[in-house]
Structure 1
Amino acid sequence: MSLDLLSMANPGVDGLMPYQPGKPTEELERELGISDIVKLASNENPLGLSPRARQAIEAATAELCRYPDANGYYLKQKLAQKLNCDSDQITLGNGSNEVLEILFRTFVGIGDEVIFDAHAFIVYQLLTQSCGATAVKTAAKEWGHDLDAMLAAVTERTKLICIANPNNPTGTFLAPRQLAEFMARVPERVLVVLDEAYYEYLKADQRADSIGWLTQYPNLMVSRTFSKAYGLAGLRVGYLVASTDITDLLNRVREPFNNNSLALAAAEAVLDDADYLAEGIALNEREMARLLAYFDQRGIRYIPSVANFITIEVGAAGEIYDALLKKGVIVRPIAGYGMPSHLRVSIGLESENSRFMDALDEILA
């Protein structure tokens, strides 16, 4: 007699597909036996680790026999100073993905509805389904969020609205005025999470005062990460800022020691490395412009992006993705986001982007 494990699992697990990350370079090496691989699939900072973060990690190794600070006191103090908020408003997570998971586990359940864009970060769909809630996907507007459609989709069962700004995988963004008008119209009983994983890549006039809005909108939460512009993707540090009432509830669900000692030390240090952050942003702007000029010259359609990646339309995206792999270039297919004709390309170093352009030229020829 075989054991029917699926019937024993929580209802939301049935039909749930695991998150598919960008292909690791080691996996491609094993599969095809090639080396000198360029990875432009996961929107990482191509500069490598911040020198200050590296020094902090080395210093922290002396105490690795001890548990980390379960509350991340010093990192939260530094974040609170930078963000002009109270440290009690901050919840730390093992990347912003875990922060979102904590949020869903705290507030979303069977019978609830969660609203997000048709091309939004796929983790929203996975978390909604795993909680047994109903996903309500609104049609995109020029590949970005249609805020009017989201408001129109609100019902008595709506628990949460997820907005990524800039959005992944499309790179589109909502101006501060649009978000302010949206928040003014959202019913107070509906929670809103503003996912700002790529916030640092926005120019000053593109950045909403989302943290400042928390005093006006107790139903608003803002999540950010150290995995992108701050270059700590491998250490997994994210955080969510909200009212102290929300934060208190999240910390009841959050696992203790969810950030390790090296991650905490590196995040504290990189917040002080303004030169590293500026260098990464400048590189991103410079190489984004070079890639866009290449796409324009080749007649390749793309979605204008304000993040550290660009999404291009190439028709047979799966075939081109496979062909690029054989040339040692990893990009990201996004058919799972309802975009089967598109590929998402992270902005890399000049040499990495040149490899990608040369490989794509050969394939398209």
Structure 2
Amino acid sequence: MKKSIVSLYLIVVAFNFSCGQDTVNQVTTINDIPFHEELLVDDLTIPWGIAFLPDGEMLITEKSGNLYLFKNGERNKISNVPEVYERGQGGLLDIAVHPDYKNNGWIYLSYASEDGEEKGGHTAFMRAKIKDNSLINKELLYKGSPNTTKGQHFGSRIEFDNKGYVFLSIGERGARDDNPQDLTRDGGKIYRFYDDGRIPEDNPFLAIEGAKTAIYSYGHRNPQGLIKNPFTGDIWDNEHGPKGGDEINIIKPGANYGWPVITYGVNYSGTPITDITAKEGMEQPIHYWLPSIAPSGMAFITTENYGADWKGALLVGSLKFQYLELLKLDGTKVTDRIELIKGLGRVRDVVEGPDGLIYVGVEGKGVYKLVPNK
């Protein structure tokens, strides 16, 4: 009986992949795109993270370990950046700016770090300030452990909520059967901290013996998108599935998002990871992709600069198909998918700037500004 169920599962998955089906429909293209792309910052190999200072200055991380400040049309390299473990998907990753930056000057970085007794690296999280194009007052806030020489699934994104907490995502580091379901191990988790790295007193697993007390949710695979929904205050993530099963989730305290016990994807060879897509006590995504798009950064559109119809929509970068995807929403339900800027390259990050315009980091190119058509 079990063999028959698995066989049926493989037939259904194969049909989905061959037909390009997903939970809404095929991604569509439109002719009346309300913007044109302008290359603002060029000559960037992998612009992993983008963040804005309150006055409009742009901070950009490169996976290779470079940090830049783009100001008045000039790119300045920031020195004294932490040494990164550049291996596979690891390197200098995300960057975020404290909501009260004008008063405290803190910026936050996530990166792959070799610090520790074991060979290899794991995702680390720090804060610092910028003075004279150099990082000062550097503070390591968290470091995943143990290190591993595997080069995949570091995560990682950083986001603040409306209450002043800061969230960090770390991928399961290629150890799907060990890390994501084990609260005593780092990896495959979303973490929550006070802005100085202290653990909030109401984090959900403080009473669990041996648990990593910074954990806020678990059962994640490789979350490379993490943002606050500006309309509700909820924290949303996107994460890479295996072959199929990329997800968008709304993060809840103490919730288990199922990886690898449940998934809508399969192994890259096509064999099943599991024969179930749902289980009691495990969260369902609000959206999943079949086939995978390899999602990266994401952002909500909060203005009408691109038309009233796009306000409230979600933008997600695709590494696999090299486009920017716009998802129209009805509450938390995805109703339409629209393909944008296809052909520019692998979209690594997308943010809405303080000017209400969209900025997109594209590998091998740089940072584009999406300029509304007149």
Q: TM range, normalised to the smaller chain?
A: under 0.3
Instruction: Please identify which structure carries the higher helix content.
Output: 1
Tell me: higher relative CO, structure 1 or 2? Use CA pairs within 8 A at least 6 residues apart: 1
The normalised TM-score by structure 1 is 0.26
Q: TM-score, normalised by structure 2?
A: 0.25
Q: Which has the larger radius of gyration?
A: 1
Higher relative strand content = 2
